[in-house]
Amino acid sequence: MQRKNKFQFIKYLPGVILMALMACATPEYTIEPFGENIETDINILASDEFEGRAPASPGGIKARDFIKSRFQEIGLKPANGDSYLQAVPLVEVTGSDFTTLNIKGNGAELSFNYLDDMVVGSYRLEESLQLDKSELVFVGYGVVAPEYGWNDYEGLDVEGKTVVILVNDPGFATGDETMFTGNAMTYYGRWTYKFEEAARQGAAGALIIHQTEPASYGWEVVRNSWSGTQYGVVTNGNRDRLPVEGWIHLDAATKIFDAAGINILETIASAAHRDFVAQPLGLTASVSFNNTFNHSECHNVIGYIEGTKYPEETVVYMAHWDHLGMVVTEQGVDIYNGAVDNATGVAGIMAIAERFMKEGAPERSVAFLAVTAEESGLLGSRFYAENPLFPIATTVAGINMDALNVYGPTNDVVSIGFGLSELDDYLDRQAGAQNRVVKPNPFPERGYYYRSDHFNMARQGVPMIYANGGNDYIGRDEEYTRMVQQDAASRYHAPTDVVHDLWNYDGIHQDLWLFYNIGKDLANTDHFPNWAPDNEFRAARDAKAHLRRN
């Protein structure tokens, strides 16, 4: 079938302008090339032959096998016995027959429509799910955070009930820098945590009230991402998941609170204070739907270099190899090649592996994880973190490489998660050696640290770096930066994420030197970096301290 033309002139006029800008002024700088195979590896991974690298697809299998062959060629040892592959059991869950969400009590009867007013779903491997007159309880932010002295569930029994929860955390709501981490979202603010905690508390269901500002995205994002087939990892039949998980539109939530005789705005405000007490709404919720399942298997690809002195201690490099596959349309076939996202990262970890092999093995082992199903919900990295091939207790730290900088070298480095751990010292030192300045994420309230694969390692207690080339391009002006941002945004998760004439590989080389030298430092020290004292992942790290060398 004929593919759509990716380079329609008008649609890509910003790129044409950017090319002109690049031609007008060529800045003077010298970046030593990091490796000789980077461009070739990126072009292969982002080629049409791999059909967008969807997990378990023919193109995805080709990508997996290519990465495995490159690991073998480089000389990495297989991490899973005599195999480079770790099987990840995936399940596709497709919901259907959604009823309205019916709210009753206090003399009121309300009905809310699927997608317009609410979304619900479940990852439990059960064909029929329902809430049947389940009592509603407002639990504020639904947080249990001992390190912050916060427990929204204190003294509360929600067994079999449905909890109604706010998105984000009290620090964002108040802007108080002494509460949680102020405006910067913690993991307690992420919707994934809300559902996990509700399940631990024994709830039958959880409904998150959508608000655009604290969520950092509108209702359309919720509506679109929750409709259609969902993907998950199968563990013990997923019985640890809630029977019903969902979101409700703020307008629907307002009507529910009105029916309970409660002012929603005042109640939301009160939830951000330490004296907040969870509040039964005196209402019940009922909803039902059906699920069908399709099971498949895809693979993480993992190789390693054995350390010379402390082989049981491991530094991890991680990058996801999957992307969005291809879509057949009336005009032809759209292939989502995923050149930046994330052929660059996978080629990057292969280049770093080659560099380590060339320079000789360090004192500690170094593992290279090409994980699958990131685009489906960080599933490959989650499976690895819960089923590690290298013990979590003696995993020193890691670096996640997700979408490298293809627009040229920079004077700065943006650290997503700046201030969270002692890894800042390693990043600062090596960035300084490149005459670069480390800057924090300019949008900490959006919780980007919890949206890529390193997060699954972090929640197990492993400190992880997630950094990208910055926005201060060497020898360029602000207009160039704006055009780069516009070009990158237009290609994100689009068929136009391909290798193109705007690419300047010096940015990739610069960042690979940075990440390599950080890993080299970590692999040749006795230090086990830890999280900041009040970080939500500190307890998990400290709980395994007795399993490490003193």
Query: What pLDDT digit, counting tens, does each position of 144-203 carry?
Result: 999 999 999 999 999 999 999 999 999 999 988 889 989 889 999 999 999 999 999 999
Which region, left, alpha or beta, applies to residue 344 given φ > 0 means left and ψ of -120 to 50 means alpha? alpha
pTM: 0.88
pLDDT band (50, 70, 90) for residue 236: confident
CATH of domain 13-89+297-545: 3.40.630.10
pLDDT in tens, 450-477: 999 999 999 999 999 999 999 999 999 9
Rounded to 5°, angle at Cα 456 from 547 and 416: 110
pLDDT at 13 over 70: no
Paired tokens of 431: 């960035």
pLDDT at 303 over 80: yes
pLDDT band (50, 70, 90) for residue 364: very high
Burial class (CB in 10 A: 0-12, 13-18, 19+), 441: buried
**pLDDT at site 191:** 93
Low-confidence winner among 22-26, 164-168, 288-292 (lowest mean pLDDT): 22-26
Q: Is 221 helix (H, G, I), strand (E, B) or coil?
A: helix
pLDDT band (50, 70, 90) for residue 512: very high
Q: Are strands 279-305 and 77-78 parallel, antiparallel or unpaired?
A: antiparallel
Q: Tell me which architecture the domain covering 92-293 has in CATH.
A: 3-Layer(bba) Sandwich (3.50)
The mean pLDDT value of the chain amounts to 92
Establish whether domains 13-89+297-545 and 92-293 are of one fold. Answer: no
Can you give the residue ranges of every domain in the chain?
13-89+297-545, 92-293
Give the span between the Cα atoms of 325 and 45, in whole angstroms: 12
Burial class (CB in 10 A: 0-12, 13-18, 19+), 359: exposed
**pLDDT at site 304:** 98
331 vs 470, higher pLDDT: 470
